[in-house]
Structure 1
Amino acid sequence: MFNRIVVVVLDSVGIGALPDAGDYGDSTNVNTLVNIARSQSGLFLPVMESLGLGAIEPIQGVNRVVKPRASFGKMAELSKAKDTTSGHWEIAGCPVFSPFPVYPHGFPEDVIERFINYTGCGGVLGNKPASGTAIIEELGGLHMETGKPIVYTSADSVFQIAAHEEIVPLERLYQFCQIARDSVCIHQHAVGRIIARPFIGKPGSFKRTANRHDFSLEPVCPTILDSLQQAGYEVTGIGKIGDIFAQKGLTISLPSKSNDDGMKTVINLVSQKGQAGLIFANLVDFDSVYGHRNDVRGYAKALERFDGQLAILLSQLQEDDLLIITADHGCDPTDDGTDHTREYVPLLVYSKTADVGKNLGVRHTFADIAATVADNFSLSPLQYGKSFLHDL
């Protein structure tokens, strides 16, 4: 039994189209990792290479090592979705089979009217699917003149509210989001996430800040976080984890401002002999800063930077720690669109006590991670997932 299990989610780092990708509007050629590597004439990821990343799928610049240090494989998504909420919930043992509502033509008039009436904001701008940076450039100046918040969505199930921090103070923006969560986006309009998108600057030079905050639905079924918490184990969420699970099942929630900040927190925690339980971290920059903005080069550099930080993390792990590296969906920045892509996700599982990694194959659901955690801590199994603990 491992004392702690550390799960690091590389947000959007997919590794190949799922067979049903076309049902979600995606090409069969989407492959976040492989396409980034090809477009950059290779990726320099020596640490993940040593763990067995190149054994999952051929990736330009990443060799397939004969004796990987970690067990390796990839996982298919069982949920009927390709977003952050469903991906993380499924990792925690709660797949989503009823897709969250999406609004390809903007929100219905009655939803917007309720939002205006409940918040007293005086009206909204936008109300359409859009790139977050593009809609701020388009409507940011008018927002500053009128004080009206910018409401927009995407291909994901999100109700996003953008506002300039000097026009709508953060506390007020968060209040708008909480009202939308509790009183507006409910019943058939219960989107997966309400997202506060604050920004600063002047027309022509607006910049989103790190004060984003997600207001998610509570998971629709019990998760491994609940099981661990009820059994008295420590459950630490880092980054967006607290938002994604609406703080449910967590004993400690530590927000982060960036990939670097998140990795610094993870490294600090694992360097200490901590209580038994789970450390669950999300590194969001891959998705929000690079994937959705089609910034292929930036994405590549972020992957290589993470690889360097991973070397430090591995050196700080305790002998009785188990590290799991995975993702929640894809967001191929080489694709024509700017939305998530329906992909397999990589699976790398490392401990200092393992001599050589095993091939874990293609897993049928992300929930295999939750099943493995439950198996490790001798908890009752959840409905979904198959443990790979004894395959390590």
Structure 2
Amino acid sequence: MKYKRIFTIVIDSLGIGAMEDAAMYGDEGSDTLGHIDEKMESFHIPNLRKLGLANLHPLKHVARIEEPIGLYTRLKEQSAGKDTMSGHWEMMGLRIQKPFQTFSENGFPKELIAELEKRTGRHIIGNKAASGTEILKELGERELKYNELIVYTSADSVLQICGHEEYMGLDTLYEYCRIARELTMEPKWRVGRVIARPYIGKDAHSFQRTSNRHDYALKPFGKTALNVLCEAGYDVIGIGKIRDIFDGEGIREAYTSKSSIEGMDQTIVLAQKDFCGLCFVNLVDFDAKWGHRRDPLGYGKELEAFDCKLGELLQVLKDDDLLMICADHGNDPTFKGSDHTREYVPLLLYAKHFNHTGRLRDGDSFALIGATIVDNFGLTMPKGTIGTSILKEL
């Protein structure tokens, strides 16, 4: 064991430029980080800079650093797709050969909607791709007045159901989502996630979503690096929506987060406790609040806030800790539409006693992350997974 603890933090959607196959996804020219930087009047991310982010991806407002304290590289995705599940599953060794189904163009099929209405006893409204906040403004009052059910999707492979915490109740909303998850296990309707979207408020002007969101995800189709660690007795701690993404598979302990800042606070607290294994963190606000809503300034400010928390984390890391900062896909807030973007992602690595720092060769898959983690603990990746460890280079 080279490192006792590994902290893997996913800045959800922080792409660093279009992959060579981006045109197949309509994403040529996308560059999440680069275009955010261009839109900012100033961009203050000193800790990410120290780790080498501006060396990896030249930026207008952030200068390269001559002596970075970290190692850095970029990774490309082998899986077919550009969503949260394919990105995270690939990190832990699973290559998705067929993209998860999306229904963003025409909504869900009539047959699925009819069955969901029958099982829930409510008339369904919405059934289109939409922003979660905008659809509440449009249909929230009607849902409450007529006891209907808002169902919608996005560019991701998701079916989302809105429910008012007081008038519908969380238990009822969660039950409707379990019904939808059962129905969408059918191959013709299969989506990656069913998401409960609870909200509060009295009218369109006051509606706001709460932190009681719950994801009902597909289980990974095979064992991952997380299963290997768990079965060997190591701690695997998920923060944010990690547990939901893997449907609990390979997770020993999990904490939900109300925001990306809270997720970092939880990570900092955990770093001051004793454990042996992996802390796996997803910071979703970058994607959900700023990427999909096409707000580059909001995204940039969130990165600055993250950088402050990163400085706090660096102060409490121990001599035998390894920090890995990465992303799961792109979501260029200056790009057309509101979809994720097919981009390379960064991998920034830091430990107090690296023998050298600087640029590493590009990784051929996100699975480099899981393979390196498993290798660190003297274990072997499951049969059928992908990924090559770079432990010897750290």
- Normalising by structure 2, we get a TM-score of 0.96
Give the SS at the match of 2:360: strand
Structure 1 residue 51, shift from structure 2 partner: 0.6
Specify the code of the residue in structure 2 equivalent to 1:17. Answer: A
Once residues 21 and 206 of structure 1 are traced to their aligned partners in structure 2, the CA distance between those partners, rounded to angstroms, is 37
- Once the two structures are TM-superposed, the CA of residue 25 in structure 1 deviates from its matched residue by 2.4
Q: How does 1:1-392 map to 2 (within 5 A)?
A: 1-26=2-27, 28-103=28-103, 104-120=105-121, 122-201=122-201, 202-272=203-273, 274-382=274-382, 383-392=385-394
Residue-by-residue CA offset, 1:275-308 (whole Å, 9 max, x unaligned)? 2111000011111111111122111110001001
Is this contact kept in 2: 1:18–1:344, CA < 8 A?
A: yes
Shift of 1:14: 0.9
* 1:64-115 CA distance string (max 9 Å, x none): 1122111001111111011111111111111211111111211111111121
What SS is found at the alignment partner of 1:361? coil
Question: CA contact under 8 A between 1:292 and 1:333: conserved in structure 2?
Answer: yes
Q: Tell me the distance in 2 between the aligned counterparts of 1:156 and 1:141.
A: 26
Letter in 1 for 2:378: S
Letter in 1 for 2:178: Q
Q: Distance in 2 between matches of 1:111 and 1:140?
A: 22
Question: Secondary structure in 1 aligned to 2:65?
Answer: coil
- State the 1:188 CA deviation: 2.6
Contact 2:82 2:341 in 1 (8 A): yes
Q: Which amino acid aligns with 2:23?
A: G
3-state secondary structure, aligned to 1:298: helix
Report the residue type matching 1:390 in the other structure: K
SS in 2 for 1:307: helix
C-alpha contact (below 8 Å) 1:165/1:200 kept by paired residues: yes
Superposed CA offset, 1:309-341 (max 9, x none) = 101101101111100000111111111211211
The answer on whether the counterparts of 1:360 and 1:388 sit within 8 Å (CA) in structure 2 is no
How many correspondences in the alignment? 389
Change (3 A) 1:76 1:98: same
C-alpha separation between the residues in 1 aligned to 2:204 and 2:259? Answer: 25
State how far apart, in whole Å, the 2-side matches of 1:144 and 1:153 are: 20
What's the secondary structure of 1:362's corresponding residue? coil
SS at match of 1:297: helix
| Amino acid in structure 2 at the alignment position of 1:124 | I
Instruction: Name the CA distance, whole Å, in 2 between partners of 1:355 and 1:41.
Output: 37
Q: Does the 8 A contact of 1:24 with 1:342 survive in 2?
A: yes
What is the SS of the residue equivalent to 2:370?
Answer: helix
Cα pair 1:127 1:150 within 8 Å, conserved = yes
Matched AA of 1:343: E
Deviation (angstroms), 1:185: 4.1
Matched AA of 1:367: A
State how far apart, in whole Å, the 2-side matches of 1:221 and 1:124 are.
35
User: For 1:164 and 1:24, how far apart are their aligned partners in 2?
Assistant: 36
- 1:150-203 per-position Cα deviation (integer Å, ceiling 9, x unaligned): 111112110011122222111111111111112344323220000111122212
In terms of mean alpha carbon deviation, does 246-255 or 373-382 score higher?
373-382
- Tell whether the 8 Å contact from 1:147 to 1:167 is kept in structure 2 after alignment: no
| SS class of match (1:280) | strand
Cα–Cα, structure 1 residues 95 and 354, in superposed 2: closer, same or farther, change >3 Å? same
Secondary structure of the residue aligned to 2:167 is coil
Corresponding residue SS for 1:38: helix
Q: In structure 1, how many angstroms separate the alpha carbons of the residues matched to 2:18 and 2:57? A: 12
Structure 1: where are the runs of 5+ without partners? none
Query: Within 2, Cα distance between the matches of 1:24 and 1:115?
Result: 31
Shift of 1:228: 0.4
Which AA in structure 1 matches 2:221? V
**Aligned 8 A contact 1:30 1:335 in 2:** yes
The Cα offsets for residues 217-246 of structure 1, whole Å up to 9 and x where unpaired, read as 001121100000011111000010010000
User: TM-score, structure 1 length as denominator?
Assistant: 0.96
C-alpha distance in structure 1 between counterparts of 2:232 and 2:259, whole Å: 31
For the residues of structure 1 that align with 2:138 and 2:91, how far apart are their CA atoms?
37
**Cα separation, 1, equivalents of 2:315 and 2:44:** 19
2:205, 2:311 → 1: CA distance?
40
State the shift of 1:355 in Å: 5.0
The answer on whether the counterparts of 1:127 and 1:151 sit within 8 Å (CA) in structure 2 is yes
Gaps of 5+ in 2: none
Q: Measure the CA separation in 2 of the matches of 1:358 and 1:388.
A: 14
Cα offset for 1:356? 3.8
What amino acid sits opposite 2:32 in the alignment? T
Shift of residue 50 of structure 1? 0.6
